Amino acid sequence: MLRTLHGLSLGLALTLAPALKAEPVVPRENTARCPLRTTPERLGSAWDDAVRLERAALEANPGDCGEVVLAVSGGTATLTFRTDDGRTTSRVLHDPSELQPLLEALLVTLPESTSHDAIRPKEPAVAENAVPRAAGSVHGMAGRTPPKSEPSFIHALVVALAGVRLAGPGPLVAPSLDLGAGIELRDWELLAIARWTPVYAVLDHDDTRPAQLASVAAGLAIGRRAPLGRRGELAVGLTLSAASEHEGWHAVSASGARVDEDEDRGQALIGTYAAVIVPVTAKTRFRSLVAADVDATHAGESGIPASGVPALPWWALTLALGVESEVL
């Protein structure tokens, strides 16, 4: 009897062996399978360190990830996660330490060494009006296509600077207040600018130069922004503005008496500037400025012209320090 049972067991085992034979596991190619892209390319030391670690983790086990985009602007970041089959979700991060746990929550595919199709748990049915999982898993949105959410690359900027302005020939020196408002578009900035110079001090008492001078100007600035080190940006650009100069000078009348004269005159200013912005990851940042401009309508003038009005200074240098802030 025992011999008969043993023979039946052996025959059953030989019969079922081919059906139970495991299929060979073909290794999945991970190289560049799930690239982690950043905008801008350099984010600052803390974000860069976190991104470096997560790139290594994604190369080791990309799961069902197709692409990750991390856009940092101001003090926050937007992470957009796309799967191989096109599903997308976006989450906002406030600190680099949040990057690792968020990606771990999104990477729900089982490890490479496990047979993915054999033991992957069946997804529960999702009601049409169900709310996606709070953890942010794209599998929580199975059965429907979520709206595509892309990080914004356009930001509204306001700028406020205070500094000193040196003009010539003269020379003349004055405090200045610079204001700007506009947009930052990827690596470019476009600003409407205004400058107020309340009063110039004349450093050389020369009758061929104005005794008093004040000005206001308004125009446009366009510049290109590029990373500067790990925490800063360098903006370099051009300016075009119109200025109104209120000029006062001393004149001598026909009777020999000294008379104070004044007049409002216009200028067309063409200039260039360079600004350093730090830290790049903050929403409100320090901005230092070096600028130079030339009056295209009076360039090269010197001495008192036939009209008897002293020549305006036709070049100027500005050094200023202040802040810029993203308001949207």
- CA 159 to CA 181: how far, in whole Å? 6
Give the CA-trace dihedral at 216, 220, 225, 228, to 10 degrees.
-10
- CA 162 to CA 175: how far, in whole Å? 8
Each residue's pLDDT tens digit, 175-221: 999 999 999 987 899 999 999 999 888 777 666 566 778 999 999 99
Report DSSP letters for 115-147, one per residue: -HHHHPPPPPP--TTPPPPTT--GGGGTTS-PP
Question: Is the confidence at residue 5, as pLDDT, over 80?
Answer: no
Each residue's pLDDT tens digit, 283-292: 899 999 999 9
Each residue's pLDDT tens digit, 222-253: 999 998 987 899 999 999 999 998 887 766 66
- CA 169 to CA 316: how far, in whole Å? 9
Question: Is the confidence at residue 99, as pLDDT, over 60?
Answer: yes
Each residue's pLDDT tens digit, 149-160: 444 568 899 999
Residue 281's contacts (CB-CB under 8 Å, 6 or more residues apart) are: 43, 44, 46, 47, 72, 74, 75, 231
Average pLDDT of every residue of the chain: 76
Each residue's pLDDT tens digit, 113-137: 433 343 344 444 444 444 444 444 4
In b/e form, how buried is each residue of 264-284, taking b as 16+ CB within 10 angstroms?
ebebbbebebebbbbebbbee
Domains of the chain: 32-141 (3.30.160), 154-326 (2.40.160.20)
Let me know the angle formed at the C-alpha of 133 by 129 and 134, rounded to the nearest 5 degrees: 120
Question: Is the confidence at residue 68, as pLDDT, over 70?
Answer: yes
Of residues 36 and 8, more confidently modeled: 36
- Least reliable range by pLDDT among 18-22, 165-169, 179-183: 18-22
pLDDT of residue 152: 54
Q: In what order do the strands lie in the sheet with 65-73?
A: 36-39, 65-73, 76-83, 88-93
Of residues 85 and 270, more confidently modeled: 270
